[in-house]
Amino acid sequence: MSLGRMLEQRFRRRSRDRLPDHLWHATVRRVRGEFEEMPCLRLTLAQARTLFGLPDRVCEWVLRRLESDGFLGRTPQGEYVRQTTSP
């Protein structure tokens, strides 16, 4: 990959929906905390948006982040569930 292409990808325009870093990290911690407090919690994306009061894209990004971290998984019905039960 050329240097120009790498720089273009690195410095592309941020989404209007993107949160400032400190709010992003706080939001991820908050959503993770809810799943830690209620290990049997099962939420669809629509339910999570309502419960957490987040915009559509932000909620999707947070849940996908927790899924990619291995903390959450998804059921065949599209529900997000906690994967880890150990402290």
Give a yes or no: residue 24 inside a domain: no
Tell me if residue 35 falls in helix, strand or coil: helix
Q: What is the DSSP string of 48-70?
A: HHHHHT--HHHHHHHHHHHHHTT
Tell me if residue 26 falls in helix, strand or coil: helix
In whole angstroms, give the CA distance from residue 57 to residue 5: 26
pLDDT of residue 14: 56
pLDDT of residue 62: 96
Give a yes or no: residue 72 inside a domain: yes
| Position 82 pLDDT exceeds 90 | yes
Mean pLDDT over 58-70 rounds to 95
Range of the domain at 55: 41-87
CATH number at residue 58: 1.10.10.10
pTM higher than 0.85 for the full model? Answer: no
Q: What is the DSSP letter of 77?
A: T
pLDDT of residue 8: 62
- Number of domains observed in the structure of the chain: 1
Per-residue pLDDT tens over the stretch 7-62: 566 655 556 667 778 888 999 999 999 999 999 999 999 999 999 999 999 999 99
